[in-house]
Amino acid sequence: MDVKTVCLGMLTEGEASGYDLKKEFESSFSHFFAAGYGSIYPALASLAEQGLVTCECIPQTGKPDRKVYRITVAGRRFLAEALENPSPCHKLRSEFLATLCFAHLMKPEDIETVLDNRLAEIEEYKKFFKDLEDGDLQCMHAGTKFVVGFGKAMMAATEAFIAENRHTLIEADDRKSATA
């Protein structure tokens, strides 16, 4: 499941341009699947070449032609097969956690900053999820609702964990040497 396949999936909701898909990546997908123009545009070109989508060029004045993509029957078939993967991966890459592994080498105020910045990011996500749900809850698919709910649950769990455990990083005996 790469950027190409996700684009294909998004196109099952209706026609869209690369620009439109980027916005989709920035909204409901932002917390678990990032993609920039540099991935999206080549992905769409490649999908078109494989016949999985069609492309209609709509001339515009002043702007580059708007290219509207639509999924084809072959595209739906391809997507269905991709969705049959029984164990799609779920991978975290966290420099945040890696940093905290070495908290005993950090200044206490730096630890606090790292923690507070993470909490601030979570706060933004929470707002953002709220907006999503306020917006078009009823027109969201069950899958999208599930995924947004999942994001909310993770953010809540993270917040709670940090609140309950941040003191262990600051008060730790192992800051200079084992005092045990």
Partner DNA sequence: CGCAACATGTAAGCGGTTACATGATTAC
Partner DNA sequence: GTAATCATGTAACCGCTTACATGTTGCG
**Site for DNA, rule CB under 7 A:** 2-4, 17-20, 23, 34-39, 41-45, 60-67
Letter for the amino acid at 118? R
Q: Which of its own copies, DNA, none sits in contact with 83, Cβ below 5 to 8 A by type?
A: its own copies
Contacts of 89 (CB under 8 A, 6+ apart): none
Which is nearer to its own copies, 58 or 73 (by Cβ)?
73
Cβ neighbourhood burial of 27 (10 Å; 0-12, 13-18, 19+): middle
Q: Is 74 in the site for its own copies (CB under 8 A)?
A: no
Minimum separation from the CB atom of position 57 to DNA (A):
8
| Among the listed residues 50, 56, 81, 117, the single contact to its own copies using CB under 8 A | 117
Minimum separation from the CB atom of position 16 to its own copies (A):
15
- Containing 54, the helix (H) or strand (E) segment is strand 53-58
Cβ neighbourhood burial of 126 (10 Å; 0-12, 13-18, 19+): middle
Q: How far apart are CA 35 and CA 44, in angstroms?
A: 13
Q: Find the binding residues for its own copies in span 132-171 (CB under 8 A).
A: 138, 141-147, 149-150, 153-154, 156-158, 160-161, 165, 168-169
Minimum separation from the CB atom of position 177 to DNA (A):
28
Q: How far apart are CA 172 and CA 25, in angstroms?
A: 40
Q: Is 90 in the site for its own copies (CB under 8 A)?
A: yes
Q: How far apart are CA 165 and CA 159, in angstroms?
A: 10
**Distances from the Cα of 140 to the Cα of 27, 110, 137, angstroms:** 13, 41, 5
Minimum separation from the CB atom of position 57 to its own copies (A):
27
List residues binding its own copies (CB under 8 A). Answer: 1, 5-6, 9, 12, 28-29, 31-34, 79-80, 83-106, 110, 113-114, 117-118, 121, 138, 141-147, 149-150, 153-154, 156-158, 160-161, 165, 168-169, 172-174, 180
